[in-house]
A = this chain, B = another copy of it.
């Protein structure tokens, strides 16, 4: 392809919102242009690399027997109402009414569409397992899209969904997807951190995220240098740094030497820090108690304190019951933070958030700042594991300007539920090996997930087994964001001058730069381009009437893996200059040797 015949509007300047390297470079290299906030058009150069990522993803999906289909992008709202996500998904779901007033969704993901399609076709166990995927447009109405295609509103996702008769079959395909993902990222030249989304402490592995390290990542990862443990903070566990008590009785016994709980005056002392100063002790001696509001709670609260009259959501028959909202008190050691994602998982809620002040006052019967577990009966009390080890603690007394000293779990209060809800952080101990954990920011590129019967149940999918008995299939879902993958490749492969493409996803393999595209040089360039193309190498021939310096700078910016410079002087000696994008100096080679070397490398390796 001649440069003059394509459309690569390179730029020296970048828009103000381009704060990360991939955004800046994709913009400067003429790969993308902004249509609107979070909406980007791929120009020819960008689309070439994008299609290579797409091809790699498709090949690896086909290799594990997943079958490509193409549902629509606009899908009936009815399907989303069946699954319950029409109500639960919030504003990121772009809802549309058509001219007849019917509800539609611009797909942000496609569990509903795939489940709907399979439901209508599935009758026998003989049709399972079945894995289907699409590579298709998705839209999420992000409130604050950023970083170019890294976090856009519209993007292309590969999403696969699988259907199984049993756990073993689901696990087998889940593992195959995981291997395919590793292979995809490897072929893209990406260093990913596969993160088991379950904490090691909890066991199991129903979910794995594929992260790339990124300073602008919206995930915090906890990593162990010693054993390789990696977990999202939303799920990460840690070795106990306290004495856990297996039961309330044992805890009470451990408090035998603790003086009785004593209510003390703590005037105008509200924060943990103020209390530490006031009582001259440290945060680890406090039990912090927070009131949370949870929505769409599936946990059974029929016997929980204060929950008798909770309103239930209407649900499909057979689907789990849920409460539209419920409040919980959560007690945790004073130096720790409650992780809301973990808490939401514990109470099986779609979302949890700190309760509003008015709710806190109503529930604790005291102003904010004096909540505590002792005597609290208005809502279910969840305590973090750490609290089970506390037999001489300070905590709020449910009374203005009052705290308890010497409060002991098991003796002065018990819990409705004990769970791990702490936010693990740098310095905590690896749940697997006890090594020290450290934090990194990460961006999620892919996610594989065992859905179980969540969708097959709510959307009433079933099949008959060999005895004619009806069952509900297990499902898995497996997604990769292609735009984000492409941007992440650039994040990992660039320098000050521009992109440094891995060969597998480079828009072209070689850029040929004539010092001046005329006479013998022109003839030599055309011949070289023809021979390279004939041997399967993709060539960009910079035939522009520009200064050599401009062409060199653009070549570095575009990041094409090989550069061949053709000039009068070298050509007179039968030579051209060949240079890898990541090398400082070029080498002189005959054109024939250049063709042999490059075509050998392009055809011989999948990544390089």
User: With contacts A96-B94, A154-B73 known, is A116 near B35, CB below 8 A?
Assistant: yes
With a CB–CB cut-off of 8 A, which chain B residues contact A50? 70
Q: Is the CB of B137 within 8 A of A65?
A: no
With a CB–CB cut-off of 8 A, which chain B residues contact A139? 73-74
User: With contacts A96-B94, A99-B91 known, is A106 near B35, CB below 8 A?
Assistant: no
Is the contact region of chain A dominated by helix, strand, or loop, or is it mixed?
mixed
Q: Which of B91, B100, B117, B143 contacts A35 (CB 8 A)?
A: B117
CB proximity to B under 8 Å, residues A140-155: 141, 143, 153-154
With a CB–CB cut-off of 8 A, which chain B residues contact A137? 72-73, 136-137
A302 at the interface (CB under 8 A from B): no
With a CB–CB cut-off of 8 A, which chain B residues contact A143? 99-100
A42 at the interface (CB under 8 A from B): yes
CA distance A67 to B30 in the complex (A): 14
User: Of A4-12, A240-248, A378-386, A579-587, which stretch is located at the interface?
Assistant: A4-12
CA distance A79 to B39 in the complex (A): 13
A202 at the interface (CB under 8 A from B): no
A40, closest chain B residue (CB): B72
Q: Which of B100, B102, B121 contacts A9 (CB 8 A)?
A: B121
User: With contacts A67-B44, A74-B94, A130-B7 known, is A99 near B141, CB below 8 A?
Assistant: yes
Chain A 8-19 interface 0/1 with B at a Cβ cutoff of 8 Å (1 = within): 010000000000
Q: How large is the interface on A (under 10, 10 to 19, 20 to 34, 35 or more residues)?
A: 35 or more
A113 at the interface (CB under 8 A from B): yes
Q: Is the CB of A35 within 8 A of B71?
A: yes
CA distance A36 to B100 in the complex (A): 13
Q: How far is the CB of A561 from chain B (nearest CB, A)?
A: 22
Known: A44-B132, A98-B141. 15 other contacts (CB 8 A): A6-B67, A7-B69, A7-B127, A7-B130, A33-B117, A35-B71, A35-B79, A36-B78, A36-B102, A44-B69, A72-B154, A73-B154, A96-B106, A99-B141, A137-B137
